[in-house]
Amino acid sequence: MPKSALSGTRIRALRTARRLGQADLARMAGVSPSYLNLIEHNRRRASPRIIEAIAGALQIPPEALDERAGDAQVEALRAAAARAQPASVTGTAPEIDRAEELTGRFPGWAALITQLHTATETQDRTIERLSDRMAHDPNLSEALHEIVSAVTAVQSTAAILAESEDLEPEWRARFHRNIHQDSVRLANAAEALVAFLDTSGEETGLAAPQEELESWLEHQGFHVAAIEQPAGPDWNALTSGQAELASAAARTLAVSWLERARVDAQALPLARLMPVLTAMLGGGGVFAPEVLARQFGVSLAQLFRRLATLPAAPGVPRFGLAVCDGSGTLTFRRPVDGFQLPRFGGACPLWPLYEALGQPDRPVRALVEFAGRPPARFVAHAIAGARDPLRFEPPHVWEASMLVTPALVATMSGDTTTPRGVGTSCRVCPRMDCPARREPSIVAG
């Protein structure tokens, strides 16, 4: 059914619900019954004046009959149908091609399905975030360990007091002091745990300094204008008093990040980079970061960091960035819509980021499809190398960077390979047949 069918279908459904005849509604709206019949059967498009007259006769706002009003709801119904279990499981499949008819004839049921679909999506995201936090957050693990340790100490001391009837007064008093001290420690640990769980991870009071830094950068749009200045400002003054940078450790990380970002900005000045980048992306061109790196005489890792922290500009997409150290732990995250980055621990082992880590100084490019509803495709460019390439003495610290670009922007010329299926992490990835799976998923099936 074409999208223009929405108005006619709604008019017919609302007229029938009010037990009005077609002739009666036509008379009330000032049109002929034959013309109204054509409108209701989607053979004629009603003009705005007639839509207003029919809406007045039905005692509803004219917007309720606008064929464009249901587009978002139709898309939501299709998304809900795409998310449903396959017909092989349920025995029947949703009639996706009749979503517009459902919206027109039963707007109340369509709105309810849309509401339930939205609520389900929100709950899934919450479950994924909390599961990732419960499984990988080091601060949470430490708090739970402290509580278990305090409970065990209190239990052991209480058992000695209960089972030993001939304890000397001095030892009995000592055990009483131990119980008191351990109970205070238990209370403090429990209070800290509750306070920690009450934080959402999206406001002041974040779980780790790195999260504070990334929250501050997100508030800045991941671009701090001060790094573009010829003379570096006082970074300590710039970072002090920031609500997101609540801890001294976060402010230290912010200063280090700003110093490195300023070096990148000097090597890739906006006045030169933006015209070259927009010319490359304009007209359906192929995004080639290696060409930019050669033109400006910088490393790919430095180019990736600069692209991920550019100010918003017309024709320039939002680049995502993930950086990890030699252990595979993510040390920096710049998210991009559709490509989720875990907050704690390692990520999907199939990311080109980790492939690059296994072959330093060799660039990796791959078309990836991120598990989601619906799946989203990206072009990922990755490179790994020594954090300090001029250092002879061990230990050598390795770092890998991965730039994530929407596939519609970064067209891979001549590449017809099947996209590589990736996810966030194993616990929240629905791909059950993944060869790199290391633990069962809590969202599959």
Residue 293: CB partners within 8 Å, gap ≥ 6? 299, 300, 302, 303
Strand pairing report for 398-406 and 320-325 = antiparallel
pLDDT given at position 83 = 65
Residue 367 gets which letter from DSSP? E
- Whether 324 and 357 have beta carbons less than 8 Å apart is answered as yes
Please give the Cα distance from 145 to 287 (Å, whole number). Answer: 48
- Whether 245 and 216 have beta carbons less than 8 Å apart is answered as yes
Distances (CA, A) of 107 to 9, 184, 428: 11, 58, 34
Q: Is the peptide bond before 62 cis (omega within 30 degrees of 0)?
A: no
Residue-level pLDDT, tens digit, the chain, 445 residues: 344 446 777 788 778 877 888 888 888 888 888 888 888 877 777 888 888 888 888 887 777 676 555 566 666 777 777 666 554 445 567 777 676 667 666 777 777 887 787 777 777 767 766 666 666 666 667 777 788 888 888 888 888 888 887 888 888 888 898 898 888 888 777 766 665 565 544 443 445 788 888 889 988 889 999 999 877 788 888 898 887 887 888 899 999 999 999 999 999 999 999 999 988 887 656 789 999 999 999 999 999 999 999 998 888 889 999 999 988 888 899 988 888 888 765 688 999 999 999 999 999 999 998 876 677 889 999 999 998 888 898 888 999 999 999 887 655 544 556 888 898 888 777 788 888 888 887 665 4
Judged by DSSP in three states, 283 sits in helix
